[in-house]
Amino acid sequence: MNDAEILNLFRSSGALLEGHFQLTSGLHSPNYFQCARVLQYPRNAETLCGLLAARFRSDRIDAVVSPALGGIVVGQEVGRQLGVRTMFTERKNGLMELRRGFTISRGERILVCEDVITTGGSVGEVIEIVERSGGVVAGVAAIVDRSGGTVRLPNFVPAMTMHVVTYPPENCPLCRNNIPVEKPGSRSQAVSNR
């Protein structure tokens, strides 16, 4: 699949939202990729994650680690297709942690998977956890790279790259026009215009 076909899959699934959104990074955008909507269909998950798994099939991958919540489905399906175990990190008191008895052994080659990457902040936290545990980051995979290819991550492979307009909250024209802000991500909470 090429970028246009993947984008069409998002549109046909109602997964490309338009409005005024606060992203997990804190940036604001008129567009939001709600991967959960496209991945709710197992065939879509198999297809999109298959694009990522295919690019790492010839590498030695021992395990997949994803940040909760959005990356869990992606990591699970990529891990299934690669035939390796999957784990996820989650936040506790605002800090990303590897919990639930998940462990990474020294020297294990880890593929970090995410649904959508804008700045790479959450993935960066997962990379730090992998490295502190003694693991080796073999690569990073995501369904959507919203940065237009500007984010720098080790051996980064997105299924689709797209530049999506983002604004710092203090310079957001959508805020200046008093368009209500939505925060549909996994760290949702009430958001007011800034």
Task: State pLDDT tens for residues 123-141.
Answer: 999 999 999 999 999 999 9
**Backbone phi, psi, residue 100, to 5°:** 60, 25
Domain borders along the chain are 3-176
Average pLDDT value over all residues in the chain: 91
Fold held by 3-176: Rossmann fold (3.40.50)
Task: State pLDDT tens for residues 30-75.
Answer: 988 889 999 999 999 999 999 999 999 999 999 999 999 889 999 9
pTM of the model: 0.85
Name the token pair of 100: 């639930």
